[in-house]
Amino acid sequence: MTANNQASHLIECDVCVIGAGSAGLSAASGAAQLGAKVVLIERGAMGGDCLNTGCVPSKSFIAAAHAAHAFKAAMAMGVGEGLAPKVDFQAVHDHVHAVIGAIAPNDSVERFEGMGITVLKESASFVSPTEVVAGNHRITARRFVVATGSRASLPPIPGLAACKPLTNETIFELTTRPDHLLILGGGPIGLEMAQAFRRLGSEVTVVDAGEILGKDEPEAAPLIRKVFADEGIALHENAQFADPKLVDGGVQATVKTASDTRTISASHLLVAAGRTPNLDGLGLDLAGVKTNKKGVEVDARLRSSNHRVYALGDVAGGPQFTHIAGYHAGIFVRNAMFGLPSKVDYAALPWVTYLDPEVAHVGLTEADARKQHGEVTTIIEHFAENDRAQTEKRTEGFIKLVLTPRGKVLGATMVGPHAGEMITLWGLVISGKVKLSAVASMIAPYPTLAEISKRAASAYYKPKLFGKLPKAWVGLVQKLLP
Ligand SMILES: Cc1cc2nc3c(=O)[nH]c(=O)nc-3n(C[C@H](O)[C@H](O)[C@H](O)COP(=O)(O)OP(=O)(O)OC[C@H]3O[C@@H](n4cnc5c(N)ncnc54)[C@H](O)[C@@H]3O)c2cc1C
Ligand SMILES: NC(=O)c1ccc[n+]([C@@H]2O[C@H](COP(=O)([O-])OP(=O)(O)OC[C@H]3O[C@@H](n4cnc5c(N)ncnc54)[C@H](O)[C@@H]3O)[C@@H](O)[C@H]2O)c1
C-alpha cells in the first residue's frame, strides 16, 4: 500500500509546515498568531538541529570548556597557583543535556498545540502540488513551508563510512572523554569542537582540505592558528585525508600536505565537513519543486518553483544559521500572510564562530566590498590599545571596519572576547543605515571592550579632525576669543 492510500484523515489548512526546527517553528508560530490554521509536521525531536544537536549543545559544551580554561587565565593573574581543573566528562554531558532540557519546553508539542497549531509527529511527503501525506493524514494547504534542515555530509573518502565516524548528531552523546579526537573539517563545527575538547583535556587534531575561516577577513585566521598552536591543537590545512580505517578500537588515517605525509592514530573521529540538505523522501518532484545539491531552489522571496511552496532555513541552500532560519520565517510571514513582496537581504548578515577569542563578522568582507563597490577604506584597531582588554589580560584580537570612501559602513569583523556580543552594534549600523559619526560621538562606558567600536569609528575622522583646516580654524578662533 502506498503512503497515498493509507492517508485517511483529511486536514485542510492555511499553512502546512514540514520540519519543527528553528525555521519551521518560527514560521508556524508567526502564521498561527496571525489567525491562520496551521499544521506542523516533525518526524524527529521538536526543535531540530539547533536545540538538540547543534547550537545549544555545542555552546553548552563550549561553556564547560571555558570554565576549564578559566583556571589557566586565573593563574596568569596570581590566582589558583598549581590548581588544575578536574573534568568529569559524564557531568559535562549531563550539563549539556540539562541545558537542552531547560530550553526544550519553548519548542515542545504542548507549546505549539497551545497556539492552536495541529502538530503531527510523522514523516511528511508531498503527493501532489497541493497535498502532503504524513502518517495517516492527508493535508491540503494554501501554502506549504519546507523547513527540513540539513545533516552532516560524509565526504566520499573510501573507508570513511565504515569507520562510523561521530557527527554533530552523536558527539554530544559521549559520556567519556576521547583520548584523541581527530576532526575532519576545519569549518565552524570542527574549530569550535577542537578548542572545546582540547580545553576539556582531549588531544585534538584537525584536518582541512582548505584553510580555516575562509569566509572571514584574512586577518582572523593567523590569530586563531596561533591560539590553537599555543593550546596544543594540531591543525593540518590544505591537507588530504585518506585511507581511514578502524584499528585497535580507534581510527587511523593518512594526512598528506605539500610538505609531508603522516599517519595519525586517534581514539575518535568526528566528521564536520559541511552539510547535505534534507530532501530525501519529501516527494518534491510530485509537488513541482525544483532542487539542486544545495537544497530547494528559491527566489528572493523564498518561494520555490511551485509558488505555494516556500523553503526556509538550512534547506533553502543559503547561509546556514539559526538566526537566518528565524529571518527566513519573517520573510515567509510577510509574503504569505500579509501579501507583501518581501525579499531576503543579506547586507547585514552576521555570523560568529564561538572560539576563544570569538570571531564575529557582519556585512561585507573587504574582498567582497571591493568587488561590489570598487574603492573601499578599511580601519583596524587592536584590543591591545583597549584598557579593559589590558585589565583582563585579553589583548589579542582586533576590529576591522570596511567603509566606502565617504564613510558608509559595509562590513565589520571583530576578533576578541565577547566579539559576538559586540558585533550587533555594527549589524544595526549597517541595517539601520546609521552614520559612522553617531558611533564616533556616542559616550561609551569606560573601561569596556566595546569602546573599541567608538575608537575605530573615531579613527575614520581623525585625519579630518586634526588636519590643516581645523587647525587653521582653531588658530583663528583662539586669536578672536577674549
Ligand atoms: C554543531 C552545530 C553547531 C551550530 N551552531 C550554530 C550557532 O552557534 N549559531 C547558529 O546560528 N547556527 C548554528 N548552527 C546551525 C543551525 O543549527 C542551523 O542553521 C539551524 O538549526 C537550521 O534550522 P532549520 O529549521 O533550517 O533546520 P533543522 O533545525 O535541521 O530542522 C529541520 C527539522 O525538519 C525535520 N524533518 C526533516 N525532514 C522531514 C520530513 N520529511 N518530515 C517531517 N520532518 C522532517 C527534522 O527532523 C528537523 O527537526 C549549528 C549547527 C551545528 C550542526
Ligand atoms: N557558530 C556558528 O554559527 C556555527 C557553528 C557551527 C556550525 N554552523 C553552521 O553549520 C554549517 C556547517 O558547519 P561545518 O563546519 O560542517 O561546515 P562548513 O562547510 O562550514 O566547513 C566544512 C569544512 O570542511 C572542509 N572539508 C570538506 N570536505 C573535506 C575533506 N574531504 N577533507 C578535509 N576537509 C574537508 C572544508 O574545507 C571546510 O573548511 C556552517 O556552515 C554554519 O553555517 C554555524
- Ligand 2 site, residue 129, Cβ cutoff 6 A: no
Specify the pLDDT at position 464: 85
Query: Of the residues 166, 193, 321, which should be mutated to test ligand 2's pocket, given the most ligand atoms within 8 Å of the CB?
Result: 321
Specify the pLDDT at position 43: 98
399 known member of a binding site = no
Q: Which long-range contacts (CB under 8 A, 24 or more apart) does 77-82 make?
A: 77/393
In a domain, 186, yes or no: yes
In a domain, 73, yes or no: no
- Ligand 2 site, residue 447, Cβ cutoff 6 A: no
The per-residue pLDDT for range 139-175, each reduced to its tens digit, is: 999 999 999 999 999 999 999 999 999 999 999 999 9
Q: Do 329 and 362 belong together in one domain?
A: no
Q: Write the residue with the smallest CA distance to atom 31 of ligand 2.
A: 155
Percent of the chain with pLDDT over 90: 95
Q: Write the residue with the smallest CA distance to atom 33 of ligand 1.
A: 19
Pairwise CA distance, residues 99 & 285, whole Å: 39
In a domain, 74, yes or no: no
Mean of pLDDT over the chain:
96
Q: Final residue of a domain: which of 258, 273, 288?
A: 273
Q: Is 329 exposed, middle or buried (0-12, 13-18, 19+ CB in 10 A)?
A: buried
Pairwise CA distance, residues 226 & 24, whole Å: 40
Q: Do 147 and 186 belong together in one domain?
A: no
355 known member of a binding site = no
Domain limits for position 453: 350-465
Specify the pLDDT at position 467: 87
Specify the pLDDT at position 8: 79
Q: Do 227 and 302 belong together in one domain?
A: no
Q: Comparing C-alpha atoms, which of 103, 153, 124 is closest to residue 320?
A: 153
Pairwise CA distance, residues 59 & 52, whole Å: 12
Q: Do 120 and 171 belong together in one domain?
A: no
Q: Above 60 in pLDDT, residue 1?
A: no
186 known member of a binding site = yes
- Ligand 2 site, residue 273, Cβ cutoff 6 A: yes
Q: Do 376 and 256 belong together in one domain?
A: no
Task: Give the DSSP H/E element, type plus range, for residue 469.
Answer: helix 468-480
Q: Above 50 in pLDDT, residue 415?
A: yes
In a domain, 190, yes or no: yes
88 known member of a binding site = no
The per-residue pLDDT for range 105-139, each reduced to its tens digit, is: 999 999 999 999 999 999 999 999 999 999 999 99
Pairwise CA distance, residues 31 & 276, whole Å: 28
The per-residue pLDDT for range 181-211, each reduced to its tens digit, is: 999 999 999 999 999 999 999 999 999 999 9
148 known member of a binding site = yes
Q: Do 228 and 322 belong together in one domain?
A: no
The domain tally of the chain equals 3
453 contacts 440 by C-beta, under 8 angstroms: no
- pTM tops 0.95, yes or no: yes
Q: Do 297 and 421 belong together in one domain?
A: no
Q: Write the residue with the smallest CA distance to atom 17 of ligand 1.
A: 50
In a domain, 242, yes or no: yes
> What ipTM score was computed for the predicted complex, to two decimals?
0.99
Q: Which atom of ligand 1 sits closest to the CA of residue 323?
A: 11
Of 284-288, 368-372, 466-470, where does mean pLDDT reach its minimum?
A: 466-470
- Ligand 2 site, residue 222, Cβ cutoff 6 A: no
Q: Above 50 in pLDDT, residue 3?
A: no
- Ligand 1 site, residue 42, Cβ cutoff 6 A: yes
Q: Do 438 and 362 belong together in one domain?
A: yes
User: Measured between alpha carbons, how far is residue 219 from residues 80, 188, 305, 381, 383 in Å?
Assistant: 34, 17, 40, 12, 14
Reported in sequence order, the residue ranges of 72-202 that DSSP labels E, i.e. its strands, are: 118-120, 124-128, 131-134, 137-146, 150-152, 180-184
- Ligand 2 site, residue 209, Cβ cutoff 6 A: yes
